[in-house]
């Protein structure tokens, strides 16, 4: 059987938002990174909230060396799960992440960027709406931009090309099952 490779007549970067209260937003974004790697595309992942608890994607992307770069800029989830860092420290890290996003976009080295948990960072006032809108405005036309996290702002929804909501129907956590490596983190 012959496999057909589709090629668009015009390459256009998309803004994709993955939000909602279900599990799987980052996982979906990582799936897009894997798919992009299959096309030889380079991806950059900037994690706004993660950084204090190990997650498998940190080592997983090493298997895609040369095609995927991941930077965890956060200090964990602000205000939950016993996170000890004050809001000001979380904001400082998120502000550094905003600067990093602009540097990576300006480098023109990437075809796809994931801004993991940026919606949460905005909702928690670690970054400002004007900063996120500036990213969208500065995005090179060919760059795919994936934005994850709960509580996406309506202005971002309005500007995005694709918006998906991941909704929880059932979660193992509610049955007192601990998070499992490779599935939950």
Kindly list the domain boundaries of the chain, sorted by start residue: 15-165
**Average pLDDT of the segment spanning 78-89:** 78
Q: Is the pLDDT of residue 181 over 90?
A: no
pLDDT band per the 50, 70, 90 thresholds, residue 165? very high
Per DSSP, what are the bridge partners of residue 72? 47
Q: Is the pLDDT of residue 176 over 80?
A: yes
| DSSP codes of every residue in 64-107 | GTTTEEEEE---SSTTSTT--S-HHHHHHHHHHHHHHHHHHHHH
Give me the pLDDT at residue 54, please. 83
pLDDT band per the 50, 70, 90 thresholds, residue 81? low
pTM of the model: 0.92
Q: Is the pLDDT of residue 78 over 90?
A: no
What's the rounded Cα separation, in Å, for the pair 60 and 78?
A: 25
* Neighbour-count burial of 181, counting CB atoms closer than 10 A to its CB (0-12 exposed, 13-18 middle, 19+ buried): exposed
Comparison of pLDDT for 149 and 182, the residue scoring more:
149
Give me the pLDDT at residue 174, please. 87
Give me the pLDDT at residue 42, please. 98
pLDDT band per the 50, 70, 90 thresholds, residue 77? confident
Q: Please name the CATH architecture into which domain 15-165 falls.
A: 3-Layer(aba) Sandwich (3.40)
| Sheet containing strand 112-116, strands side by side | 68-72, 43-47, 112-116, 144-148, 15-19, 162-165
Q: Is the pLDDT of residue 38 over 80?
A: yes
């Amino acid at each position: 059987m012959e496999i057909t490779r589709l090629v668009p007549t015009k390459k256009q970067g998309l803004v994709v938002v993955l939000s909602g209260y279900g599990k799987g937003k980052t996982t979906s974004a990582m799936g897009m990174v894997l798919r992009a790697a299959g096309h030889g595309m380079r991806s950059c992942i900037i994690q706004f909230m993660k950084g204090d608890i190990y997650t498998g994607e940190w080592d997983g992307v090493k298997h895609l060396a040369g095609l995927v770069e991941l930077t965890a800029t956060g200090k964990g989830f602000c205000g939950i799960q016993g996170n000890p860092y004050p809001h000001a420290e979380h904001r400082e890290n998120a502000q550094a992440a905003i600067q990093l996003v602009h540097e990576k976009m300006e480098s023109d080295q990437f075809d796809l960027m994931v801004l993991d948990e940026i919606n949460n960072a905005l909702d928690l006032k670690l970054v400002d709406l004007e900063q996120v809108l500036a990213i969208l405005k500065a995005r090179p036309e060919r760059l795919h931009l994936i934005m994850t996290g709960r509580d996406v702002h309506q202005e971002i929804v309005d500007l995005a090309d694709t918006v998906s909501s991941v909704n929880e129907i059932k979660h193992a956590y509610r049955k007192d099952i601990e998070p499992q490596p490779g599935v939950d983190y």
